[in-house]
Structure formats: C-alpha cells, structure tokens
C-alpha cells in the first residue's frame, strides 16, 4: 500500500497527513507493510510516522530522495505533468520556497540521489529496507528470533512464506521488489 501526498497548501497539508496516517494505521493489523510517500519536511511529520510504527511495534525506515543537480531538478519539475484533477503542478519558485522550510533530519535514513544510475537506487533501497526489516535476532529458516512487533520467540518460516506470528521481517522488501521494474521504467 502506498499513500501519496499532493502539493502543499494551507488547506490540505495537515489534513493530507492525517488521512494518510488513518489509512496507514490499519495496514499493519492486516499483516502488511505500508509505504508512505510524503515530503516529511518537518520533524512533526516524521514523528507522526515513528509514532505510528511504535504503536504497531513495527520498524520504520525513512528514505529521502534528493536531486543534487538543481538544473536537472528544475527541468524535471517543469516537464512533469501528473494529470491529477484539482492539483496544480508546483512551480520551481514554490519548490525553492518550500526548501527554506525543510528542517534537518535527526532520524537515521537512506539518502538516494535521483541523478544516480536508474538501477542503483532501487537496489540500494531494497538493501536498506531488508536491513531495517531484520528482527533483533537473525531470522532464517527454522531460526528462533524476536521481532519488534512481538516479544515472544518463535520459529521463522522459510523465505517467502508469511510468518504465523505476523512479524514484518521482509514484507516491505518483497513489496518493493514487486514494483521495482515499473519504477525503473518510469525513470
């Protein structure tokens, strides 16, 4: 599941985050991972996702995507047309102004540069998510382990099978792998 937040405005900004949180809040109860695609420019937004993850006792992993070349960033922005009814595309000036509101990160996160080779960023993201999804003790076929979601030890099933204790080890990674080829094609 993915939630995407649209352009920032005084009317939709906080409301969009609250709606995304309400939707994402039900996902872990289904034994699934949630991917929230949001700018998270301020600490309050990041804290919202940490709190949600803690409430469900699941790991949270932040990935920040940047474009280190402002010329390329501007060209991409000005050529983009998402075609979302009711949402105007942001202008370069709006993006620059929004950058002044960006608060420094204190969380551990993976930073990906969109200038990189199109295949390298998904590979880095998969590796990062795999590490973030690791239980506190190794989880391989037949191993006993603990996960952040539950304190009890249990035997982890073979790779690709859902854990009967509904731990989240590897679920986000599998979801990302399913969408990797589409993501690369869109770049």
Residue 124 lies in a domain: yes
CA atoms of 63 and 140, how far apart (whole Å): 26
What integer is the mean pLDDT of 56-74? Answer: 93
Query: For strand 2-4 and strand 35-37, is the pairing parallel, antiparallel, or unpaired?
Result: parallel
Q: What is the pLDDT of residue 136?
A: 52
User: Per the structure, how many domains does the chain have?
Assistant: 1
CB atoms within 10 A of CB 114: 15
CA atoms of 67 and 182, how far apart (whole Å): 20
Q: What is the DSSP string of 51-118?
A: HHHHHHT----EEEEE-S-HHHHHHHHHH-----TT-PPPPHHHHHHHHTTPPPP-S-EEEEETTS-T
Residue 138 lies in a domain: no
Q: What is the DSSP string of 160-175?
A: TSPPTT---TTHHHHH
Residue 157 lies in a domain: no
The token pair that represents 96 in the structure block: 């620059």
Tens-place pLDDT, residues 94-147: 999 989 999 999 989 999 999 998 889 999 999 999 888 876 544 444 444 444
Tens-place pLDDT, residues 145-175: 444 433 334 444 444 555 444 444 444 444 4
Residues 6+ apart with CB under 8 A from 15: none
**Is this model's pTM higher than 0.85 or not?**
no
Residue 154 lies in a domain: no
Residue 162 lies in a domain: no
What CATH number should be reported for the domain holding residue 114?
3.40.50
Residues 6+ apart with CB under 8 A from 158: 141
Residue 160 lies in a domain: no
Residue 113 lies in a domain: yes
Whether residue 9 is predicted with pLDDT greater than 80 in this model: the reply is no
Mean of the per-residue pLDDT values for the chain? 74
CA atoms of 4 and 34, how far apart (whole Å): 11
Domain span at residue 129 reads: 2-133+170-186
Residue 56 lies in a domain: yes
Instruction: Give the whole-number percent of the chain exceeding pLDDT 90.
Output: 32
């Amino acid at each position: 599941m993915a939630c995407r937040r649209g352009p920032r405005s005084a009317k939709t900004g906080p409301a969009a985050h609250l709606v995304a949180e309400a939707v994402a809040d039900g996902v872990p109860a289904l034994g699934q991972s949630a991917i929230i695609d949001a700018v998270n420019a301020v600490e309050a937004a990041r804290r919202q996702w940490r709190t949600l993850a803690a409430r469900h006792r699941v790991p949270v992993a932040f990935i920040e995507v940047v474009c280190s070349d402002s010329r390329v960033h501007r060209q991409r922005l000005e050529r983009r047309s998402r075609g979302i009814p009711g949402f105007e595309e942001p202008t370069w000036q709006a993006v620059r102004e929004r950058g002044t509101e960006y608060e420094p990160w204190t969380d551990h996160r993976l930073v990906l540069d969109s200038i990189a080779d199109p295949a390298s960023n998904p590979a880095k993201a998969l590796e990062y998510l795999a590490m973030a999804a690791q239980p506190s003790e190794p989880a391989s076929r037949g191993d006993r382990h603990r996960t952040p979601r539950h304190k009890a030890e249990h035997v982890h099933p073979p790779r690709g099978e859902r854990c009967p204790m509904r731990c989240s080890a590897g679920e986000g990674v599998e979801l990302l792998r399913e969408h990797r080829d589409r993501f690369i094609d869109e770049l």
